[in-house]
Amino acid sequence: MPYNGILIMAVILFIIGITGVMVRRNIFIMLMSIELILNAANLVFIAFARAFADPAGQVIALLSITLAAAEVGVGLGIFVAIRRTHNTVNVDEINLLKH
Amino acid sequence: MLATMLIYIFGALAIFSGLMMILYRNPIHSALWFGLVLFSLAGIYALMQAHFLALIQILVYVGAITVLIVYVIALLNFDQRDLVGKVTILKGIAVIVAAILFIELLFYVGGLYVKGIAPPPEFGKAANIGLATLTRYLFPFEVISILLLVAVVGGVYIAKKD
Amino acid sequence: MFLIVIIKILFVVGVLLTFAALLTWVERKQSAVTQDRVGANRVQILGIRALGLFHIITDALKMFIKEDYVPEKVNKFLHFIAPLFPFFSALAVFAVIPFGSPIKIGGRIVELSIARLDSGLIYLFALSSLAVLGPVIAGWASHEKYALLGGMRAAAQMISYEIALGVSIIGVIMVYNTLDISLIVEKQGELLFGFLPKWGIFVQPLAFLLFLPAIIAENKRIPFDLPEGESEIVAGYFTEYSAMRWGMFFLAEFVEVAVVAAVLTTLFFGGWQFPYLFDDGFHFFGVWHLPYWLIVIIRILTFFAKWIFGIWFLQQVRWTFPRFRYDQLMKLGWKIILPWGLINIALTAIVIMLING
């Protein structure tokens, strides 16, 4: 198994996620980038679960998928509320506290 | 050997789709690329003896999370002016910071050497994971179930009108 | 080994597409019988009408030669790929469904299902959940309000009923103690109290009652066809589709009917199990020995018989019930099927605990 290759893949995915969160201002793409970061972590967990033949990594990946589902549920609820009150999906325009 | 090749193909697909995801302007395209990232990751999981996790990944991530994101994007139906991104100096700095972090992580990961042992054939099957979840990891499992319940109630409450 | 898999795939896809094509005829003919009409019988070749079976050919011909009209403002790419999601997910789901007991060819045991997965049931739900993407993307890409409404309805309905579906099936998993669909079918061959086949419907009647409406709702057919409710939103998410792209949605729906019937057969009606027929022959007031090849043939025929009965039943449901209102639909999913599904899980757990001591 190419564990080093997988780790590098996970790093690249992680960086893509980080860049997406920092550069894009659309809340949906930011949410998806955060999910990408979580997925990069999951990939590492599963790779090490295979490497050490220990189910712990897979269990934690399972829990983290559940966590992601909960996160998306709440996140999308917030987006609907933001859209209703601010009429935007651009994070830069949600700046009521600035004024 | 075939497995290694497939892992690299899926990995390349995941990275390419990930890039497309953050580069596309329209979030619905991004969401579909996101789905493709998750799908290729599921492929990698299946090749690394995490069959159950691969299916859960498709079921939860692709089948529920991506669909939900696409659904809300279509529901909110925002106008085009939200999609135009501005290029600012801050974004340039963000990209530089990300690049530095990337190089740092690469140095760290490149120095690792993971040999790995071959796990038993039943490793990664549903029964195995279920047993581990409900014995050794029972407490995190219960906590996460409470978290999920709270998230469901909270999501409904936040999204509800007034 | 590779060759066997390819033969199985070709066989399954061929059977499914044949069923889908036949269903376009069955749909009209059965509605005609139900509503006391004559039904589709206009097409004739050399004066032979063959009960209207030629309509299948003319339909296909019509869909291929019609103008494929794409409205100006649609998102071309998404509009193009949307019909593929339900179609391919419906075809892929069938991979884990066993249509006969294992056979031996040249000293090698061949499973009569394309893939025997350890978590086959999860695979089934995972792949079928991809079908939702089709209507949503079609509705969004069409750039039209009725299509969007249809897509929204489809997504809300299918996500809601996926949960109902998942909860109602857990009882079955608990009883058979496995996620492997082939193993579930094998265990359904056992006898309960020595005379009743251990089919899903006998050991989990409540789960069946909850599963049936949920899976019909997943399929978006009457009485749950609100996403395309023609009296309210023209044709729902495929309003802006024509010719073969519309045909893909249409075909996908019929493939889904066939798959739903197969899933019902497999999980609740014993799959390929013929009652009292074991690997060495009939066990019915004594043992009647039969050669194994005959048993395999009987089992495959049994599966097809049950499958066709299931399809007939689903079609009859379609032509019997009126359409739900949207609030009734959501109420049924969230307030009736989900709580009863949870109750079913608790009851099953208690019974299993009592039996196992």
- Rounded to two decimals, the ipTM of the complex is 0.86
Helix axes C84-93, C133-141, angle to 10 degrees: 170
Which residues form the domain of B134?
Answer: 125-162
Neighbours of C210 (CB within 10 A): 25
Rg (C-alpha) for chain B, rounded Å, is: 20
| Number of neighbouring beta carbons within 10 Å of residue C58 | 14
Q: Are B21 and B37 in contact (CB under 8 A)?
A: yes
DSSP H helices, chain C, are: 2-34, 55-65, 76-81, 84-93, 120-129, 133-141, 145-176, 181-187, 200-203, 205-218, 230-233, 243-268, 292-318, 326-331, 338-356
Q: Are residues B119 and B135 in the same domain?
A: no
**Number of domains into which chain A is organized:** 1
The CATH number given to whatever domain includes residue A34 is 1.10.287.3510
Do C and A touch, 3+ Cβ pairs within 8 Å? The answer is no
CB-based contacts of C255: which residues, under 8 Å, 6+ apart?
A: C16, C17, C19, C20, C87, C90, C91
Q: What percent of chain A has pLDDT over 70?
A: 99
Name the closest residue on chain C to residue B121, using Cα atoms.
C118
Q: Say yes or no: B152 and B103 in one domain.
A: no
**Residue predicted with more confidence, C198 or A42:** A42
Inter-chain residue contact B71 with C152, CB threshold 8 Å: yes
Q: How, if at all, do strands C277-278 and C196-197 pair? A: unpaired
Indicate the residue of B59, B71, B74 with minimum beta-carbon distance to C126.
B59
Interchain proximity B109–A7, CB inside 8 Å: yes
The answer, for C114 touching chain B at a CB cutoff of 8 Å, is no
Q: What is the pLDDT of residue B82?
A: 56
Q: How far is CA B31 from CA A26, A92, C133, C300, in A?
A: 12, 21, 11, 42
Q: Is the pLDDT of residue C59 over 90?
A: no
Domain span at residue A21 reads 3-92
**Whether C130 contacts chain B with CB within 8 A:** yes
In the predicted model, is pLDDT for residue C60 greater than 70?
yes
> Using alpha carbons only, how large is chain A's radius of gyration in Å?
17
Residues 6+ apart with CB under 8 A from C104: C110
**To the nearest whole percent, how much of chain C has pLDDT over 90?**
3
Closest partner residue to C159 (CB to CB) among B32, B68, B73 is: B68
Same domain flag for B112 and B94 = yes
- pLDDT for residue C203 is more than 80: yes
Per-residue confidence in pLDDT tens, chain B, 162 aa: 788 888 899 999 999 999 888 888 888 888 889 999 999 999 999 888 888 888 889 988 888 888 888 888 888 876 665 566 667 788 888 888 888 988 888 888 877 787 778 777 778 788 888 888 888 889 999 999 999 999 988 888 888 776
Burial tier of C350 (Cβ tally within 10 Å: 0-12, 13-18, 19+): exposed
* DSSP 8-state class, residue B118: P
Q: Which residue ranges make up each domain of chain C? A: 2-356
Contact yes or no for B59 and C122 at CB 8 A: yes
pLDDT band at A37 (very low <50, low <70, confident <90, very high): very high
Question: Each residue of C222-272: pLDDT tens digit?
Answer: 788 877 777 778 777 887 887 788 888 888 888 888 898 999 888 888 888
Start-to-end CA span in chain B (Å) = 58
User: C129 in contact with B at a CB cutoff of 8 Å?
Assistant: yes
Cis ω for the linkage preceding C86 (within 30 of 0): no
Subunits with at least 3 CB pairs below 8 A relative to chain C? Answer: B
Among chain B residues, the shortest Cα distance to C163 is held by B64
Q: pLDDT, tens digit, for every residue of C1-36?
A: 788 888 888 988 898 888 888 888 888 888 888 888
* Number of other CB atoms surrounding residue B123 within 10 Å: 19
Contact C119 B52 (CB under 8 A): yes
Q: Which of B28, B41, B49, B55 to mutate to test the interface with C (most CBs of C within 10 A)?
A: B55
Q: Measured between alpha carbons, how far is residue C64 from residues A46, C59, C77 in Å?
A: 47, 9, 20
Distance CA C289, CA C295 (A): 10
In this structure, the strands spanning C277-278 and C281-283 are antiparallel
When pLDDT is cut at 50, 70 and 90, the band that residue C290 belongs to is confident
Which candidate in A8, A14, A16, A43 is best for mutational testing of the B interface (most B CBs within 10 A)? A16
**Residue C280 token pair:** 């060495």
DSSP string of C308-357, one letter each residue: HHHHHHHHHHHTTSPPPPHHHHHHIIIIIIHHHHHHHHHHHHHHHHHHH-
pLDDT of residue B146: 92
Other chains touching B, judged by 3 or more CB pairs under 8 Å: A, C
Closest CA to C89 of C57, C49, C154, C134: C134
Q: Could you tell me which residue, C44 or C298, shows the higher pLDDT?
A: C298
Contact state of B116 with A77 under an 8 Å Cβ cutoff? no
- Whether chain B has a CB inside 8 Å of the CB on A7: the answer is yes
Neighbour tally for B66: CB within 10 Å: 28
Tokens representing A88 are 């935007």
Residue B61 shares a structural domain with residue B93: yes
Cross-chain residue pair B70–C140, CB shorter than 8 Å: yes
From its phi and psi, is residue C192 left (phi > 0), alpha (psi between -120 and 50) or beta?
A: beta
Residue B59 to residue C229: CA distance in whole angstroms: 28
Residues of A in contact with B116 (CB under 8 A): 1, 3, 50-52
Query: Would the CB atoms of A62 and B147 count as touching at under 8 Å?
Result: no
Q: Which residues of C touch B145 (CB under 8 A)?
A: none
The answer to whether the beta carbons of residues B68 and A76 sit under 8 Å apart is: yes
In this structure, are B66 and B145 located in the same domain?
no
Measured between CA atoms, the residue of chain A closest to residue B75 is A80
B109 and B37, same domain (yes or no): yes
Q: What is the DSSP letter of C104?
A: E
Strand stretches in B52-153, DSSP E: none
- Cβ contact (<8 Å) for A46 and B48? yes
Report which residue type is found at C190. Answer: E
Q: Collapsing DSSP states into helix, strand and coil, what is residue C100?
A: coil
- Please tell me the distance from the alpha carbon of residue B149 to that of residue B154, in angstroms, as a whole number: 8
Helix (H) or strand (E) segment spanning residue C281: strand C281-283
**Mean model confidence pLDDT for chain A:** 85
How near does any CA of chain C get to the CA of B81, in Å?
17
What backbone phi and psi angles, to 5 degrees, belong to C109? -85, 125
Which chain B residues are within 8 Å of A49, Cβ to Cβ?
48, 50, 124
In this predicted model, what pLDDT tens digit does every residue of C63-120 receive, in sequence order? Answer: 888 887 878 877 788 888 888 888 888 888 888 888 888 877 777 777 778 888 888 8
Same domain, B161 and B107: no
| Shared domain check, B151 and B118 | no
Dist. CA C332–CA C341, nearest whole Å: 12
Q: Give the CA distances from residue B128 to residues B52, B58, C117, C220, C332, in Å, rounded to whole numbers and listed in that order.
A: 10, 19, 15, 36, 35
pLDDT band, very low/low/confident/very high, at C350 (cuts 50, 70, 90): very high
Q: Are C146 and B78 in contact (CB under 8 A)?
A: no
> Which pLDDT does position A26 carry in this prediction?
81
Please tell me if residue A41 touches chain B, with a CB cutoff of 8 Å. Answer: no
A32 touches chain B (CB under 8 A): yes
Within a domain: A97: no
Q: Is B83 helix (H, G, I), strand (E, B) or coil?
A: coil
| B39 at A interface, C-beta within 8 A | no
Parallel, antiparallel, or unpaired: how do β-strands C108-110 and C103-105 relate? antiparallel
What residues of chain B lie within 8 A of the CB of A85, using their CB? none
Q: Do C118 and B52 touch (CB under 8 A)?
A: yes
Q: Tell me, what's the pLDDT at C74?
A: 79
Query: Do B99 and B48 share a domain, yes or no?
Result: yes
Q: What percent of chain C has pLDDT over 70?
A: 100
How far apart are the C-alpha atoms of C321 and B136, rounded to whole Å?
Answer: 50
* Closest approach of A37 to chain B, Cα-based (Å): 11
Chains B and C touch (3+ CB pairs under 8 A): yes
pLDDT value for B81: 58
pLDDT at B85: 64
Give residue B83's pLDDT.
60
Same domain membership, residue B91 and residue B119 = yes
> Which of B25, B53, B61, B67 to probe by mutation at the C interface, max C CB count within 10 Å?
B67
B102 shares its domain with B44? yes
How close does chain A come to B122, measured CA to CA in Å?
A: 11
Residue B78: its pLDDT value, please?
65
